[in-house]
Amino acid sequence: MSLVVRNLRVLYPSRLLQRAHYQTGTAGDGVSEGMPPPLRGIKILDLARVLAGPTATMLLADLGADVIKVEEVTRGDDTRSWSPPSAPKVDSAPAPSLPAESAYFLACNRNKRSITVNFKQPEGLSILHKLVAQSDVLVENFIPGKLAELGLGWEECRKINPRLIYASVTGYGQTGPYRKAAGYDVIIEGEAGLMHITGEPDGPPCKVGVAVTDVATGLYAHGAIMAALISRQQTNKGVWIDCNLFESQLAGLANIASNYLIAEQEANRHGTAHPSIVPYQVFPCKDGFLMIGAGNDKQFKSLSNKILRRPELAADSKFSTNAARVSNRAEIVQIITDALMQHERAHWLKEFEGLGVPFGPINNIKQTFEHPQAVARGATVEIEVSGPTSAFSIS
């Protein structure tokens, strides 16, 4: 089977870590090099599918870990078929029966090597046991107890490799009445409070535009694995990491959770607005939208005096303090809206520049990736993506 290589443009958040520098040579010679991959030599067995677990292993791969992704034999990872869109086809691509590599799949599986193994069969299980013996980390997102039934649970794997870090990413965790329930981002968004606070005040609950609960869980799992690798240096023993979507989303409620736990304050939907700061929301302009976040009285004074040219607003007792503006939210929001609707967005972007009032345009995705800061910081890179190959072997 031949190897197919394509160049694809991808988002690369781990470049943040790769930008870290250290000085080399004699002091003051100005010579610097990129931080060497901190996880070089770490081997990861990736049994995770869809987004949360694969996000964690992709971030580890970005940092230099050797990730072997084990996929289902007949169709691969579920997300391979979540298309269109898919990566451009190559005429010489082998195995035409394989599903296309969807953009979704490629979003969370770069820098990995994939194999398909039927570990429900003795031969396949033997292959996985050999990989367990050679690995530093195993990441899986099966329903609790399923891999144990197949001979790949934590107890079985740590007998093979006592230094193995075994990370389970599930919907609700390894214990509790919901432990056997499947975990889906959109369900957890609703069940763990996020949808209740997302959407317009007079509208229905709304999901977030991306699977933020999955992504947050992947980040938590990635951090826990990094911590476990450090812990293993001290103990020479592996650990079992129990990471799940439900508790990750509970943690993601942040100040909303704190408001309830400390003051029993129930949350409501505020659209793009903030419950405790005014003005702090999206406003319409003549031809688009602008986010304004005047988080204190000084910023509001700059907004009224220097941008809106309405100094009487900051002097008015109804608007001079944030508490007063919260009490008179509807009135001041309407005043700002009427002012902004007099001009196009480009006009207001120039008016806001350099005055210390937080602001920003509401960009579409094309505008986002064409943003001067995204371009200057190299937020996306072109990488080589390899197609199927038969050059993989396990001993």
Asked, as a colleague might, if the bond just before 201 is cis with ω within 30 of 0, I would say no
Angle, helix 52-62 to helix 212-235, in steps of 10 degrees: 50
CB-based contact 48:138 (threshold 8 Å): no
CA-based radius of gyration for the chain: 25
Distance CA 159, CA 148 (A): 13
Residues annotated as catalytic are 214
- What single string gives the DSSP state of each residue in 323-384? HHHHHTHHHHHHHHHHHHTTS-HHHHHHHHTTSS--EEE---HHHHHT-HHHHHTT-EEEEE
Give Cα 166 distance to the centre of its chain.
21
**Integer angstrom CA distances of residue 96 from 91, 179, 311, 319:** 10, 39, 68, 66
Using DSSP, state whether 181 is helix, strand or coil. coil
Q: Distance of CA 301 to CAs 243, 296, 312, 316, 352, Å?
A: 46, 9, 10, 11, 13
Q: What is each CA distance from 236 to 24, 26, 266, in whole angstroms?
A: 31, 36, 46
Q: Taking a C-beta distance cutoff of 8 angstroms, is the pair 31, 76 a contact? A: no
DSSP state, residue 304? I
> For the residues of 59-74, what is the DSSP string, one character each?
HHHHTT-EEEEEE-TT
Distances (CA, A) of 221 to 76, 286, 306, 329, 387: 22, 44, 46, 40, 28
Is the preceding omega at residue 361 within 30 degrees of 0, hence cis? no
Is residue 260 within 8 Å of 266, Cβ to Cβ? yes
Q: How far apart are CA 56 and CA 79, in angstroms?
A: 16
Give dist(CA 102, CA 80) in Å, integer: 5
